[in-house]
Structure 1
């Protein structure tokens, strides 16, 4: 089986390609692996087109050689010739049918294969993007490009291009045969057709712009729908169903209006081409009838001319429709190529350094770290963060909301790069470490547990896909997942639903903790990992986490200070600054920000 291309095609030159089909060239890298199938499709296409072009000539021979024989020829001889010509016509029809079916299958296979490869390339590319990418592009719009745009391209590659080539061959062949029959007349007709086609090109530019705009508006509706469907409980709780339906309706109507303008323009283009070209061909046919009257053309030649006029006229009608489809596909291709041309600022280093293999946790050094999110470059989140976290220590990050605690976790996983300074892991700047190597050393338990559609076992094994059943159950037991799994009819194979909606918040959190335990990474990041548990569940999971923390470096984000009193080191962040460092007892004695936060919480 041919493989999909690994290279990402370049961004099309949209300025130079305005009003043309040049963006479709970006699909060539996806078509290239299937040269053999394309050659086979072209062969079948040529055979089918040749068979169709042979039919009018065969009718010409039937009329002049079987029906219009001179007087005196006996009927038996006449019937023999007619029978022979009909057998020839049937043979041509069989060849046409078989080659057309083979062309349809081959071209459809190419369309399905290329669309599948393109969809996979876009999806794989999106997965590699940094979080900054999703700050500016809605998830629904990405899904729209994956679904709607690839569907348009599938229609183009799997049908429209083939139909366009086929009918272009028929048009050229038909015009050639007409010129062979009545060259002077057909040269005049060709000139008239050229005058029709030139204005159509200008109309086509407008069609393409509207096609691109139509796809953008569809993506807007998908973005709104994707966002709202993930927030149904909040929408219903605040009685915003009607308002959100109205917002979607507004975007939907804009998409409809843009699509309608595109359809109107395409309809005008199609009508203009058909009327203009058909009128020119009828003029040629009229000249053929006059030629028969004048004795310059036989009845068979006139029949041939009529059929070739129908072939050419039909080809022009199909080409007009195909042109509109290809213009729409060009707009969809532009959108996908823009997505594929996006490069994540977070990438593997040119000269990577591997982290040393050693038992125990990682040493982490923040060396004067400054950072602001790319979407808010003027608003610094961390300012001059400098501290050292020794291997195997249990460190807590505390501070008011917006102090930069979650940002520290994102920088450690290199979702973003620091603006100034460096983060060193075991003495190596993490920007010099391959992303896979870095992230394989980190296990994370977020505050809002991410659960995927599938079974409980699938979700736990996400931390280590190759884990054995024994390892999975040990991790589940450590996180006390087995307590509620035993009560489920299907046990670890229980289907949890989309985003784990069939589970409680505490159950989802335990699964996330089991996933991190199973990964067994030397650096464990806990973002308020027990926030969704009740008091009894929190005590149980805290005991499990204490066991999981053993022998590795652990960083805990905590808002409830009672959970971090036993931490080896507490870092107090305030508006991006490291305000205080010490143990719980030391910070209480210092009487600073931590002591004030503790006084408020413990008093309550």
Structure 2
């Protein structure tokens, strides 16, 4: 039957085996307990035969006591074996799924950001939770049932032949009739199981996306449309599940009719043989017992196969994640290790780059720029000019299609990405805060920092005062994404985090954009000490924040159009002059400048 599986499903089976392999001794113990319990269950048929023929039919109390005693011993052995099997199998299921989740998560957090442009994080979350939960159910329960009932079928058929070959032939004739629908419907169930998992992931993705943006949803009164779209998503999941359930229901029904129909025919033939004296009553009772065991096992197998098909789909989806390649890798040969603290000199040479999701347009086109160690360079330009993309390339979230970036004279492609990123501290336009305490969020980039160091960083970022006013101070827990804090407060915590890292290169991406005038003034007061002895790159749309930079680089449509000081660029560059006029002059002057361009 394994040979009939597709290559993808064989990969899914190999994935499961790979995670079970480290616990081979527990698996062997569970398998041994499974074989013992199956053997004891099958032995009960002979116990029933002895009980009927030597206990009831002989009317001997002594023989009846012996038969009952043997039967009770089998029951005790079955109970002990079942306990062992259940505990070990359930333990393996939980252990393997924990390992799968950990390995998938560890793989995902190292994948390059480009991977997440084409894959919804909420769907990935569904694979990491719902699919692994399904695998846990199968490994910890369904797989054991499949093996146990497989053994029961094989052992039961062997004992049926031993007990009565004639009656067994009736059961054997029925076997192809039972196997055919299992194979036919099983293929359909397998396909529908994969579709069902995809639809379930769609439901989870939509819920995560909508609830994650609940303020926007309610601000635009979008609840009605979201109700309709979610209803469509749910109904699609239900429709796929209904088709899968229908196929499984037909499968189970056919198996029951065929198996129990064969048992009925066998009982009629066996009953006639008992009446004619060709077999004993105990022999027929044992045969009926084995027939019911085989029939019940087939019925269970038909149900479990459906679960195994679903698990194959889930394992396949997880395997897809594990097969996702990280295109940003440390060099295999010629790797260079940076010193503990670099000077911070940067060179960008003829860079060209386009995002994977937008391959038709270059976000950076022929950019060359040299940044001296300790220099403060501002990047300005209209939205979409490529300023933030420069940061993405510096942090090696992506590699350029052409050109190269050098850090202290070493190409980034010859460095481990982890070694590169420890040299940078980033304060983004939309600061990322995580569920946890304020102290944990500030210490995010430097887990070894002391509370005193955390407090000092918060003071420099002018966050200390508002933190102390909160209910639990630095131990105050934040909601997802810093829910409950103002934009300015979130930004100041992000600046404190960057301060604590104490990296030689500082990347500020609209770092003061969310601050009120007073907070911005305080941050501007702190920036000189923050930038001291550091190479600093500043992205800002508000030119007032970068007037005092050592140099200003003007970008437009991914190209560098001018470099100079504020005074030089106002005179020499029309684009910068227009931006400056719009921000530093009154509206009439701005309109005049636009009209003359």
TM class, shorter-chain normalised? Answer: over 0.9
**Residue of structure 1 equivalent to 2:50:** 61
CA distance in 2: counterparts of 1:38 and 1:369, whole angstroms: 55
Contact 2:354 2:364 in 1 (8 A): yes
Note if 1:370 corresponds to 2:370.
no
- In structure 1, how many angstroms separate the alpha carbons of the residues matched to 2:552 and 2:204? 44
Distance 1:382-1:591 versus aligned 2 partners, 3 A rule: closer
1:472 to 450, 454, 457: 454
Counterpart position of 2:485: 503
Q: Could you state the TM-score of these two structures normalised by the residue count of structure 2?
A: 0.95
Matches within 5 A, 1:58-457: 58-69=47-58, 78-351=60-333, 353-357=335-339, 361-457=343-439
> For the Cα contact (< 8 Å) 1:285–1:305, is it kept in 2?
no
Residues 22, 330 of structure 1: 8 Å contact kept: no
User: Residue 361 of structure 1 contacts residue 551 of structure 1 at CA under 8 Å; is this kept in 2?
Assistant: no
Q: Is the CA contact (8 Å cut-off) linking 2:482 and 2:490 kept in structure 1? A: yes
User: How much does 1:302 deviate?
Assistant: 1.0
1:584 to 566, 587, 596: 566
Q: Return 5+ residue gaps in structure 2 as ranges.
A: 587-597
Maintained 8 Å contact 1:396/1:567 = yes
Cα distance change, pair 482–548 in 1 and its aligned pair in 2 (3 A): same
Task: State the distance in 1 between where 2:459 and 2:501 align.
Answer: 14
Q: Which moved more, 1:195-204 or 1:144-153?
A: 195-204
- Tell me, yes or no, if structure 1 residue 549 matches structure 2 residue 531: yes
1:525 maps to which residue?
A: 507
State whether residues 364 and 424 of structure 1, in contact with CA within 8 Å, keep that contact through their aligned partners in structure 2: yes
Q: Deviations over 1:372-417 (max 9, x none)?
A: 1111111111111011001010010000000000100001011111
CA contact (8 A) 2:33 2:82 kept: yes
The worse-fitting range, judged by mean Cα deviation, of 198-207 and 513-522 is 198-207
Change (3 A) 1:502 1:308: same
Q: Deviation at 1:175?
A: 1.1
Between the aligned partners of 1:472 and 1:273, the Cα distance in structure 2 is 67
1:493 partnered with 2:475: yes
Tell me whether 540-549 or 346-355 shows the greater mean CA deviation. Answer: 346-355
User: Closer, same or farther in 2 for the Cα pair 1:544/1:569, shift >3 Å?
Assistant: same
Hey, what's the Cα distance between the residues in 1 that align with 2:157 and 2:422? 66
Instruction: Measure, in 2, the Cα distance between the counterparts of 1:24 and 1:439.
Output: 38
Shift of 1:252: 0.9
Q: For structure 1, which segment, 529-538 or 354-363, has the greater mean C-alpha deviation from structure 2 after superposition?
A: 354-363
- Which residue number in structure 2 is paired with residue 483 of structure 1? 465
Deviation at 1:122, TM superposition (A): 1.3
The Cα shift of 1:231 comes to: 1.1
CA distance in 1, matches of 2:309, 2:321: 19
State how far apart, in whole Å, the 1-side matches of 2:4 and 2:294 are. 33
CA–CA separation in structure 2 for the residues paired with 1:453 and 1:217: 29
Distance 1:359 1:287 in 2: 89
SS at match of 1:525: strand
Secondary structure of the 2:378 match is strand
Aligned residues: 585
> 1:456, 1:494 within 8 Å by CA — same for their partners in 2?
yes
d(CA) in 1 for partners of 2:346 and 2:165?
84
Question: 1:356: how far off?
Answer: 3.7
Task: Give me the whole-angstrom Cα distance separating, in 2, the residues matched to 1:143 and 1:130.
Answer: 17
Q: Alpha-carbon deviation of 1:296?
A: 1.5
Q: Could you say what the CA RMSD is over the residues aligned between the two structures, in angstroms? A: 1.7
Deviation readout 1:457-499 (Å, 9 max, x if unpaired):
0000001001112211111111111111121231100111121
In structure 2, distance between residues paired with 1:310 and 1:360: 76
How far off its partner does 1:358 sit? Answer: 6.7
Structure 1 position 533, deviation (Å)? 0.7
C-alpha distance in structure 2 between counterparts of 1:79 and 1:585, whole Å? 115
Whole-angstrom CA distance in 2 between matches of 1:67 and 1:187: 29
SS of the residue 2:552 aligns to: strand
Q: Deviations over 1:36-69 (max 9, x none)?
A: 0000001111111111111111111111112112
Kindly indicate whether the alpha-carbon contact (under 8 Å) linking 1:369 and 1:382 is maintained by their aligned counterparts in 2: yes
Residues 182 and 302, structure 2, Cα contact 8 Å, conserved in 1: no
CA-to-aligned-CA distance 1:574-604 (integer Å, 9 cap, x gap): 1111000011111122142111110111014
Q: 1:353 and 1:306 mapped to 2: Cα distance?
A: 72
Contact 2:101 2:128 in 1 (8 A): yes
The secondary structure found in structure 2 opposite 1:380 is coil
Q: Report the equivalent of 2:40.
A: 51
Q: CA deviation at 1:17?
A: 4.1
Alignment correspondent of 2:590: none
Q: 1:23 aligns with which of 2, 8, 12?
A: 12
The gaps in structure 1 that reach 5 residues or longer are: 1-11, 70-74
- Give the Å deviation of 1:278: 1.9
Contact 1:445 1:525 in 2 (8 A): yes
Report if the CA contact (8 A) 2:181-2:254 is conserved. no
